[in-house]
Structures are given as structure tokens and as C-alpha cells.
């Protein structure tokens, strides 16, 4: 593969619903270009063992090809929402989007999400209606639904030719020529029964092009049609600006529609160089505009990391400016660390192709960088700039994980660290209150893949439980309690005697004071009393949860000249705690979170009704673009443990949410009873 300059590179991210055939389409393109010698969706793209078991993409994969003096980097992304972190990384470095739609299934939730993602990132977009070989394929129904859902800028550039129920060829609207699958090299005239349809679609294209440029509009109204040069000019403007979204069709399995799809990509999709400039940031956080060509100083953005047990760390990157060369000395701007580029690769699926350089806009990988991770920027020391990070979706579904054996315990932390280095859409939390290691993912399949990788790649086995809700305890009334510790067993004895007032206070921590008068408890024992009480506050008297909002005042007591010791007063404080706290009207506090749910307007009523069932309180609703609404509510954390999965279920995958802790509040009596009963059962099980 030769070197390609910025204006010769096209970076295309494949988006769409799971099962629409994205990976199969890339495999078909590779086979069509004689890059691979067989048509098999697992030979180049879905090569990971977990992908093969599931029959779907889990990770983003790269597939560069050469086509008519251009290099096209296809970025194949998963369609399932649990793996959207991988999709976000692919979108970050793409300059264009190819959305694959099933001719049988039509628009699905993943199609809507794909189009929304493409528009949010201002990516020129093509729809490819795949699986035209399916007996239930209905191109025109799919096309009509695309225009209804996404607007009249969605325009057919190619339509199928049917004989009975079977697609036997296709007509290119722009050229007004037909190709038949049994004779792919020779163009034919449009079949008579399709002439009217083709003319109507051609008229749609012309009308859309006329709206993109004043000269074209004037020419169209004067002549009633465009010449070929005007068509090309108009399409270049319209596709690049997003005012026209072409629709092509074909079959990845039957190798149909591939050639003209590639022609469209190279002719009308913009290269990265056409941006002209890209925004970066300097050390002060100020924006810097850099030229998107080879004359600029080098900078490269790392969008994906793989930790290979044999090769080490593999960093996937896009050269944002300048030229990245082998043996170059660069700086990781985010980590302020020097790095050396040992070898540069072009990545095709699982295969690494050594190259000497990568030019502006191109995508590849480097190995064995010591400090560099996903979202880091490599640059030259003379101009250390960095780029905005990938915005990964928030991981909300959680599981507590426990090592199965001592050997697993020793390896668990380091293995998880490597996995999370690869997958930054997951996160890990070590909860000090519940003593649990909690793994957060985008969904149950996401977490399942992480645990499978933990077992198969790192040989670490774990068990999982639902995370413990970190309830807390407090008191509602003031009490005075006495604690006397007296021990005599021959020789030196122990003696400590205290009176402590316990009362509610507005504080997250225990507040300790002393009002001892006349030296009834010597000052040197105050810290021991406080320490004893603080240790007790870690486990409440109702269910063993941390106690908050308590003021403890040491008011009186007594001591012995010989037998009083710190440990004795610490024990006396514990006795006072055990005597007094149950009498102070203790209650359970439950954590409350604020949840912000974004859903299409049709699901707002369902979301509100569901929150009511979860003891939630609706705070408000906000209108958002694209007929969506944000529903904000405060809900007990215990009611949100599996919300990520359930929200996806009752919104057909169209809803997403974030949540954050707000406060603790008193739990209702029935919840308190349940929490206390669960604590008693755990205690009995441990015994």
C-alpha cells in the first residue's frame, strides 16, 4: 500500500442497527477489491472470539482499501447499544458516515440512533439499503420510510430491478443506466417499466441540487435540467453540506452495488484535508487552529487502545496534522511524557501492515508506547497541542464482583485495569462503605463481555452480586447513656466510666464535644472516648450501616488512679453507644439520586409512570431537539439498580439516562423493615 496524502484519504464510519450487515458489507468490499480471498464476515472484521460466539460486532475494527487513487479507511462499529463506547470512538475519527439499513427490516432503533449520531457530528452521510437478495426485501418501502423519518434530503441514487420477487439488477439514477447481476460490466438502458420511476427520482435529485447554489438554481429554472458538470458540482456541494443524503442499494452477500458505492464515496465524500483547519488546544487551554495538511506540525489523536499479551499496548490513532514517521520523537501532551514511535502500522481487521509514514487524515496504529492511552494526543515538542476527548456514554448498570480464589484476588485489580484501559466506556468503583468492587457498564451484554475477557484472556474468575445499596443510619431524639468498663483479673485492672449525650445534628460526620467539669474524666482520655465512638458509628444498631448526623457529647464519668487506661475508656464509650443509640429513635436513611432521562416524546408518559412506581418525584421536563424530552426526577437509588436494562426495554432502545447522587433522606417504614430484615438474614448466613 503506497503513501496517501490528506486529499486522497476518505474516513468512513459504518453505522446502523445490529444485524443490518455492516461487517458483511465491509467484508464484501474487501473481497471485491481482492484484499481477502473469501467472503466470510469473521475472516477480517468480526475476528474476536467473543464476536464469533455472539454473531455480532463487539469492537470497532478498521479496513483500509485502495480505490481509484484514493485510500478509503472503513471504520466498522458495533450496532448494539451495549457497545456504543466503541462506536463513539469510531465516530470521533470519521469524516463521513455510511448507514447500513436492512431491505427486509427497514428503519430500526439503531438506524435512528445512527442518523442522529451522524447529524450531531456533521458527517456527510450515505444510506446503503443492504440485503436486496432477501426474498422479503422491499426497497421502495424502506426508501419511503427513510424520507418520512429523516426528510426529503434523503434521495435515491440507485434503485433495484425486480423480476417477480427477485432483485436481478439495479438502475443508477444519475447515469440513467441499468446493470444486471448476470452481466455486471455492461451498462444497459433503463427497463421501460422503470423509466417513469427513474425520471421522478432524477427530478428529486435536481430539485435538491438547485437549492444548494444560486447559480445552479438559476440554471435549473432557465433550462429545466442540469448538464453532467452541473450535476457533479451540485452533488459535491450538497453531499458535503449534508443537504443531500444519497441512498444506494445492493447485497453484501451477492457482491452487488459495491462498485458504484465506492465510486460515490471517492467522488462526493470529502477528504479530511477539505476541512482546511482543525481546532486543538494549547497548554493554557486556549484554542489553536491548525491546517489539515502535511505542511503543518505533526499531531495525532489516540482513539482506541488494545492491550495485547504478546505485542503489548497497541495505540490506534488518526494523524490530525502533519506527518507521523517511524523513529520520530514525540511528546504525549496529556501525560507530559516523551514517546518514541518504533513502528507504524496500517490496520486491517486483525492484520497489521507495516508502513513507514502516516500522512494527515490517515488512520493507523503504533505499538509499545509507554504512557499513552485512549484520548491522548501525540505532538512535537515545539508545538504541544491536544484535542478534545471522546465523549463516552455514561455507564450506569452495575454489578459487584468478587474473586473466586486467592489467585484470582491477586490478579483481579491489574487485569481489570488493562481491560478498562481498552474500554473507557466502563468504569470501576471501590466502595469503601460497602467494601465492594463495583463494575459499571452500558448494559448486561457489555458487562458480560468484560467478565468473559477477564476469564479467557487474563484467567481470572469472579462471582457477581447486585451491589449493596449504601444505606445510612441516624437518630431522631436526644438521649443520655452511661458506659462503665471495669475489669479485674489479677494484677493490673481496667477501669473507664463515661456519660455521653447523643443527639441529632446536621452533619455528614459525627460531631464530638466534651463538657466534663471538675476532672471527673481526665483530658488525656478524651481522644480514646472519641475514637471508641467513631469506630461504633461505622456500624449502626439497626442494620449495621454507617451512622451520620449524630452529635456525641462527653458530659461526665469517673476514673481510677491505677486501673484507668485509654483502652478502658474506649470500651466504656462503646458500652454507652450500645446502650444509648437504640433509645434515640434510630432510623434508616436511603440515598436519593437525580435521574435525567432523554426519550422521544412518545415515551414520556411511560417514563413518568415508571418513575411513580419507583417512588420517584418528577422535578420537571424540558423539550429537546429532534422531538425528544428530558424528564428529571429524584428517585431512591435502590429503585434504580437495573434501570439501564429496563429503560431500554420499555423505550425500544431509544431512551438513555444519567444519574447523580443528591442526598440521603429517611426511608419509609416498609423499606426500613425490609433493610433491617435483610441485614439480620445476612448476619445469620455469616454465622
The CATH number of residue 560's host domain is: 3.30.230.10
- State mean pLDDT over 469-490: 92
Q: Which of 284, 307, 282 is nearest to 374 (CA)?
A: 307
| Within a domain: 372 | yes
Task: Please check whether residues 37 and 144 belong to one and the same domain.
Answer: yes
679 falls within a domain: no
Q: How much is the mean pLDDT over the chain?
A: 91
pLDDT for the residue 442: 94
pLDDT digits (tens, 9 = 90+) for 515-549: 998 889 999 999 999 999 999 999 999 999 999 99
**One domain for residues 489 and 520:** yes
**Position 686 in a domain:** no
Q: Is the CB of residue 333 less than 8 Å from the CB of residue 386?
A: yes
* 25 and 38 belong to one structural domain: yes
For residue range 119-169, what is the model confidence (pLDDT) as tens digits?
A: 999 999 999 999 998 888 899 999 999 999 999 899 999 999 988 778 888
Same-domain check for residues 421 and 370: no
Tell me what the mean pLDDT of segment 418-431 comes to.
93
Q: How many CA atoms lie within 13 A of 284 on its CB side?
A: 3
The CATH number of the domain holding residue 426 is 3.30.70.870
Whether residues 27 and 168 share a domain: the answer is: yes
Residue at which a domain ends, from 585, 619, 634 = 585
Write the CATH number for 361: 2.40.30.10
| Predicted pLDDT at 232 | 82
624 has a pLDDT exceeding 80? yes
Query: What's the whole-number mean pLDDT along residues 344-355?
Result: 90
Q: What is the CATH number of the domain that holds 626?
A: 3.30.70.240
Alpha-carbon span 176 to 249, nearest angstrom: 15
Query: What average pLDDT does range 4-15 have in this prediction?
Result: 95
Domain range for 640 is: 591-671
Q: Name the pLDDT band for 48 (thresholds 50, 70, 90).
A: confident
What mean pLDDT do residues 647-666 have?
94
The answer, yes or no, to whether residue 661 has pLDDT greater than 70, is yes
Residues 579, 637: one domain? Answer: no
Q: Within a domain: residue 219?
A: no
Question: What is the distance between the alpha carbons of residues 495 and 563, in angstroms, rounded to a whole number?
Answer: 5
Residues 19 and 150 in one domain: yes
3-state secondary structure (DSSP) of residue 375: coil
Q: What is the pLDDT of residue 234?
A: 85
Does position 412 have pLDDT exceeding 80, yes or no? yes
Q: Give the pLDDT score at 491.
A: 67
Residue 41 confidence (pLDDT) above 60 = no
User: Is residue 93 a part of any domain in this protein?
Assistant: yes
Q: Residue 182: helix, strand or coil by DSSP? A: coil
Residues 496 and 574 in one domain: yes
Q: Residue 650: is its pLDDT beyond 60? A: yes
Q: Highest-confidence range of 188-192, 321-325, 560-564, by mean pLDDT?
A: 321-325
Contact predicate 94/62, CB 8 Å: no
Q: What would the pLDDT profile of 304-316 be if each residue is shown by its tens digit?
A: 999 887 778 899 9
Whether 455 and 494 map to the same domain: the answer is no
Three cell numbers written together for 67: 480505490
Q: What pLDDT, on a 0 to 100 scale, did the predictor assign at position 285?
A: 86
Asked whether 504 and 475 are in contact (CB, 8 A), the reply is yes
- Produce one character per residue of 528-552: b if its CB has 16 or more CB atoms within 10 Å, e if not: bbbebbeebbeebbbbbbbbbbbbb
pLDDT at res. 3 = 85
Same domain, 281 and 270: no
Q: How far is CA 423 from CA 49, 410, 440, 538, 595, in A?
A: 17, 22, 11, 35, 24
Could you give the C-alpha distances from 624 to 143, 630, 658, in angstroms and in order? 27, 7, 16
The answer on pLDDT for 344 being more than 90 is yes
Q: What is the pLDDT of residue 508?
A: 87
Which of 353, 296, 343 is CA-nearest to residue 320?
A: 296
DSSP per-residue letters across 474-536: E-SS-EEEEEEEEE-SSSS-EEEEEEEEEEE-S-SS-EEEE---TTSS-GGGHHHHHHHHHHH
Give the pLDDT score at 40.
65
Beta carbons of 165 and 135 less than 8 angstroms apart: yes
Residue 46 pLDDT exceeds 70:
no
Residue 448 in domain: yes
Mean pLDDT calculated for residue range 620-640: 94
Tell me, yes or no, whether 247 and 334 share the same domain: no
Of the chain, the percentage scoring pLDDT greater than 70 comes to 98
Please check whether residue 642 lies inside any domain of the structure.
Answer: yes
What whole-number distance in Å separates Cα of residue 90 and Cα of residue 304?
9
Q: Which three cell numbers stand for residue 306?
A: 488494545
* Average pLDDT for 632-660: 94
User: What confidence score (pLDDT) does residue 225 get?
Assistant: 75
- Boundary residue ending a domain (379, 410, 432): 379
Question: Among 435, 465, 495, where does a domain finish?
Answer: 465
3-class secondary structure, 19: coil
85 lies in some domain: yes
- 365 lies in the same domain as 306: yes
Domain count, the chain: 5
Amino acid at each position: 500500500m503506497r503513501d496517501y496524502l490528506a486529499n486522497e484519504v476518505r474516513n468512513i464510519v459504518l453505522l446502523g442497527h445490529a444485524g443490518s450487515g455492516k461487517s458483511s458489507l465491509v467484508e464484501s468490499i474487501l473481497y471485491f477489491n481482492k484484499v481477502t480471498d473469501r467472503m466470510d464476515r469473521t475472516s477480517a472484521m468480526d475476528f474476536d472470539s467473543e464476536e464469533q460466539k455472539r454473531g455480532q460486532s463487539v469492537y470497532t475494527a478498521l479496513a483500509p482499501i485502495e480505490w481509484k487513487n484514493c485510500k478509503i479507511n472503513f471504520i466498522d462499529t458495533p450496532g448494539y447499544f451495549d457497545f456504543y463506547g466503541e462506536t463513539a470512538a469510531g465516530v470521533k475519527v470519521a469524516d463521513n458516515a455510511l448507514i447500513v439499513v436492512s431491505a427486509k427490516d427497514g428503519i430500526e432503533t439503531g438506524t435512528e440512533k445512527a442518523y442522529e449520531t451522524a447529524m450531531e457530528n456533521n458527517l456527510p452521510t450515505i444510506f446503503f439499503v443492504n440485503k436486496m437478495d432477501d426474498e422479503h426485501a422491499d426497497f421502495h418501502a424502506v426508501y419511503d420510510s427513510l424520507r418520512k423519518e429523516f426528510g426529503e434530503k434523503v434521495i435515491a441514487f440507485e434503485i433495484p430491478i425486480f423480476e417477480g420477487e427477485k432483485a436481478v439488477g439495479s438502475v443508477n439514477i444519475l447515469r440513467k443506466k441499468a446493470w444486471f447481476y448476470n452481466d455486471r460490466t455492461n451498462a444497459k438502458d433503463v427497463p421501460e417499466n422503470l423509466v417513469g420511476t427513474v425520471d421522478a427520482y432524477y427530478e428529486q435529485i435536481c430539485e435538491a441540487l438547485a437549492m444548494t447554489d444560486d447559480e445552479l438554481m438559476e440554471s435549473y429554472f432557465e433550462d429545466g435540467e442540469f448538464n453532467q458538470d452541473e450535476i457533479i458540482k451540485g452533488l459535491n456541494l450538497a453531499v458535503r453540506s449534508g443537504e443531500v443524503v444519497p441512498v444506494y442499494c445492493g447485497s453484501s452477500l451477492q457482491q452487488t452495488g459495491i462498485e458504484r458505492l465506492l465510486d460515490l464515496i471517492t467522488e462526493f465524500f470529502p477528504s479530511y484535508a477539505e476541512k482546511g483547519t482543525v481546532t486543538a488546544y494549547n497548554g493554557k487551554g486556549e484554542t489553536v487552529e491548525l491546517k489539515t495538511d502535511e505542511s503543518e506540525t505533526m499531531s495525532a489523536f489516540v482513539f482506541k487502545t488494545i492491550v495485547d499479551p504478546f505485542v503489548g499496548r497497541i495505540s490506534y490513532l488518526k494523524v490530525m496534522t502533519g506527518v507521523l514517521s517511524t523513529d520520530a520523537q514525540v511528546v504525549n501532551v496529556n501525560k507530559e511524557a516523551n514517546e518514541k514511535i518504533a513502528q507504524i502500522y496500517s490496520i486491517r481487521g486483525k492484520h497489521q501492515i507495516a508502513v513507514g509514514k502516516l500522512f494527515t487524515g490517515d488512520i493507523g496504529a503504533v505499538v509499545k508506547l509507554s504512557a499513552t492511552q485512549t484520548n491522548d494526543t501525540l505532538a512535537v515538542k515545539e508545538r504541544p497541542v491536544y484535542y478534545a476527548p471522546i465523549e463516552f456514554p455514561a455507564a450506569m448498570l452495575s454489578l459487584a464482583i468478587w474473586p473466586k480464589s486467592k489467585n484470582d484476588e491477586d490478579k483481579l485489580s491489574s487485569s481489570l485495569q488493562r481491560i478498562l484501559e481498552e474500554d473507557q466506556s466502563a468504569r470501576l468503583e471501590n466502595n469503601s462503605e460497602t467494601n465492594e468492587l463495583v463494575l459499571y457498564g452500558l448494559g448486561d451484554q457489555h458487562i458480560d463481555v468484560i467478565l468473559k475477557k477477564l476469564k479467557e484472556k487474563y484467567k481470572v474468575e469472579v462471582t457477581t452480586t447486585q451491589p449493596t445499596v449504601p444505606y445510612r443510619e441516624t437518630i431522631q431524639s436526644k438521649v443520655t447513656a452511661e458506659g462503665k468498663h471495669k475489669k479485674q483479673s489479677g494484677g493490673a485492672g481496667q477501669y473507664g466510666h463515661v456519660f455521653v449525650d447523643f443527639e441529632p445534628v446536621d452533619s455528614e460526620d459525627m460531631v464530638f464535644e466534651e463538657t466534663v467539669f471538675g476532672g471527673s474524666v481526665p483530658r488525656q482520655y478524651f481522644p480514646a472516648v472519641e475514637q471508641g465512638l467513631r469506630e461504633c458509628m461505622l456500624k449502626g444498631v439497626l442494620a449495621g450501616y454507617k451512622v451520620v448526623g449524630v452529635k456525641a457529647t462527653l458530659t461526665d464519668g469517673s476514673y481510677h488512679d491505677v486501673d484507668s487506661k485509654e483502652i478502658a475508656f474506649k470500651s466504656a464509650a462503646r458500652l454507652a453507644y450500645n446502650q444509648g443509640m437504640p433509645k434515640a429513635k434510630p432510623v434508616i436513611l436511603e440515598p436519593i439520586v437525580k435521574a435525567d432521562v432523554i426519550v422521544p416524546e412518545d415515551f414520556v408518559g411511560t417514563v413518568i409512570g415508571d418513575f411513580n412506581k419507583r417512588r420517584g418525584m418528577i422535578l420537571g421536563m424540558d423539550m429537546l431537539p429532534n422531538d425528544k424530552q428530558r424528564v428529571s426526577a429524584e428517585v431512591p437509588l435502590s429503585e434504580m439498580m437495573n434501570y439501564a436494562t429496563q429503560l431500554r426495554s420499555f423505550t425500544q432502545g431509544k431512551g438513555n439516562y444519567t444519574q447523580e447522587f443528591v442526598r440521603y433522606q429517611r426511608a419509609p417504614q416498609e423499606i426500613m423493615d425490609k433493610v433491617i430484615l435483610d441485614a439480620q438474614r445476612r448476619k445469620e448466613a455469616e454465622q
